[in-house]
DNA sequence: CATAAAAAAATACGATCGTATAGTCTGTTG
DNA sequence: CAACAGACTATACGATCGTATTTTTTTATG
């Protein structure tokens, strides 16, 4: 009987077990981030990954476990895309560090507009505290918070940020950046302007930097 | 047979149709805000409102309709609690208007910490654009945006806020305030500090005002 | 009191979903 | 070739949920 015929589109890309597994992970991360835990069905994930529903359950034992592994995958992507500035502000090379905060903000914004899963997953669970939020706090957020605070403090010591409470400043900065991503679908519909465009991001960051640099 | 016996706790509060209906609305708003649309079941809402599941369907025809009416109810609460400053910055009475922005921010923060439903419902739909988000945009957000922008501009004309792009400033302010509420369950677990305490809110607002007032 | 409308409750049904289980296919190893 | 393990599939079951329908109870009105 048929020797080849496996799938319709004649997968030119390799379709081994490993690629299937990560395809499921990527699809699950997307759908979990968009539809939430309850709004996501394993069948939908399987379809999006172009695999059978049973295979999802074979590679990941339960929906809960798939969710956890998806988030690990998302955070790995994020940490791989945003490591450059983290805690590595040059101590006193003193060429032009003034642009560093601006560059970091822009990089965070553009990446998050492109891969908003981590933010969506974060606030989904924050809005309904439970075991899943506790797990995320222990696994990711404690480290994220301390890294962020350390970055703020380094920047402050270099005179790049006003000397106010570091944790407050972290929240204000995070808020100003992340809110922009979260509210983007609304802004787009209200203002009729694409908030993830380069101009929009640059203008917003300019305004933000203006507020920060004129304050002491 | 029993003349009275209706319910266990001998409801001292009147339990007529109107109070039942609004009890369902309040419960639905809470649960929708916490668990999302998909994560909310009509049975759970009924239990929380202490009514039978069938009664939920009697008063509100469908889950979709219950969701809409819940949100109308939430927005009505919000507009009833936060009308004082909206668009009503005194034109030139000029006693001490400098505290007005600070007071407004504090009022928004304390109310939203107390009744975070509107924010949660807002971002739930923003994270998965669809017909429900479109409905919210047309019904609420267009007005919210224009009101907010108008407020910023009035404050700017009085010299209470730096003269930067009004919409950007609105987003930065909204972000700094709303993010604080959204991230509160995480902050509470990471920092071991209640973010909705008066001191925490005041300190945060002080920092924010410091950034705003030293900038021009 | 009679009667009709409104309010509330009980029941049932079809669909979806997570998961458990058994079966199939393929490649490898001894 | 035999045996086995890993990858994959098919199927079924129990539970939950939204909704439709029917029935009972309460309230209002003449």
Statement: A82-216 belongs to CATH 3.90.1300.10: no
Measure CB to CB from residue A145 to each of B33, B178, B190 and give the nearest one: B190
Asked if A160 and A101 touch (Cβ cutoff 8 Å), the reply is yes
pLDDT at A18: 75
Question: Over 80: is that where the pLDDT of B107 sits?
Answer: yes
* Domain regions of chain B by residue span: 14-73, 82-213
The mean pLDDT of B91-109, rounded to a whole number, is: 77
Using C1' positions and the CA of A66, the closest nucleotide is C18
The mean pLDDT of B26-46, rounded to a whole number, is: 98
Q: How far is the CA of B193 from the C1' of D30 (A)?
A: 65
pLDDT at A9: 38
Residue of B nearest to A146 (CA): B190
* Strand D contact at CB of residue A21, distance < 7 A: yes
Query: Model confidence over B184-215: pLDDT tens digits?
Result: 999 999 999 999 999 999 999 999 999 998 76
Class (C level, CATH) for B82-213? mainly alpha
Question: CA A196, CA B194: separation in Å to the nearest integer?
Answer: 34
Sign of the C-alpha dihedral, residues A168, A174, A180, A185? negative
A135 touches chain B (CB under 8 A): no
Class (C level, CATH) for A1-81? mainly alpha
For chain A, the residue count is: 216
Query: Percentage of residues in chain B with pLDDT exceeding 90?
Result: 76
| Non-local CB neighbours of B137 within 8 Å, separated by 6+ positions | A186, A189, A190
* Strand C contact at CB of residue B63, distance < 7 A: no
Question: Over 50: is that where the pLDDT of B122 sits?
Answer: yes
Measure CB to CB from residue A126 to each of B172, B174, B185 and give the nearest one: B185
Question: Over 80: is that where the pLDDT of B130 sits?
Answer: yes
pLDDT at B7: 34
pLDDT in tens, chain A (216 residues): 333 333 333 334 577 767 999 999 999 999 999 999 999 999 999 999 999 999 999 999 999 999 999 999 999 999 999 876 656 656 555 556 678 889 899 999 999 999 999 999 999 999 999 999 999 999 999 999 999 999 999 889 888 999 999 999 999 999 999 999 999 999 999 999 999 999 999 999 999 999 998 766
pLDDT at A158: 86
Query: Any idea which residue has 């922009």 for tokens?
Result: A180
**Residue A95 DSSP SS3:** coil
CATH number of B14-73: 1.10.10.60
| Non-local CB neighbours of A33 within 8 Å, separated by 6+ positions | A74, A116, A117, A120, A121, A124, B127
Residue of B nearest to A205 (CA): B168
Residue of A nearest to B210 (CA): A215
* Strand D contact at CB of residue B114, distance < 7 A: no
* Strand D contact at CB of residue B62, distance < 7 A: yes
């Amino acid at each position: 009987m048929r020797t080849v015929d496996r799938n319709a589109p004649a997968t030119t890309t390799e379709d081994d077990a490993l690629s299937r597994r990560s395809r499921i992970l990527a699809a699950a991360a997307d759908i979990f981030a968009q539809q939430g835990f309850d709004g996501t069905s394993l069948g939908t994930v399987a379809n999006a990954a172009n695999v059978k529903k049973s295979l999802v359950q074979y590679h990941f034992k339960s929906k809960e476990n798939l969710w956890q592994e998806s988030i690990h995958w998302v955070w790995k992507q994020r940490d791989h895309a945003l490591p450059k500035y983290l805690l590595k502000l040059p101590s006193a090379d003193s060429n032009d560090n003034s642009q560093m905060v601006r560059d970091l903000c822009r990089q965070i914004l553009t990446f998050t507009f492109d891969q908003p899963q981590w933010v969506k997953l974060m606030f989904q669970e924050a809005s309904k505290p439970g075991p899943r939020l506790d797990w995320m706090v222990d696994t990711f957020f404690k480290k994220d918070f301390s890294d962020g605070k350390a970055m703020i403090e380094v920047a402050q010591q270099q005179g790049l940020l006003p000397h106010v409470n570091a944790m407050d400043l972290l929240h204000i900065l995070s808020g100003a950046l992340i809110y922009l991503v979260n509210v983007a679908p609304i802004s787009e519909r209200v203002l009729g302007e694409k908030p993830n465009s380069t101009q929009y991001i640059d203008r917003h960051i300019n305004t933000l930097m203006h507020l920060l640099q004129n304050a002491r």
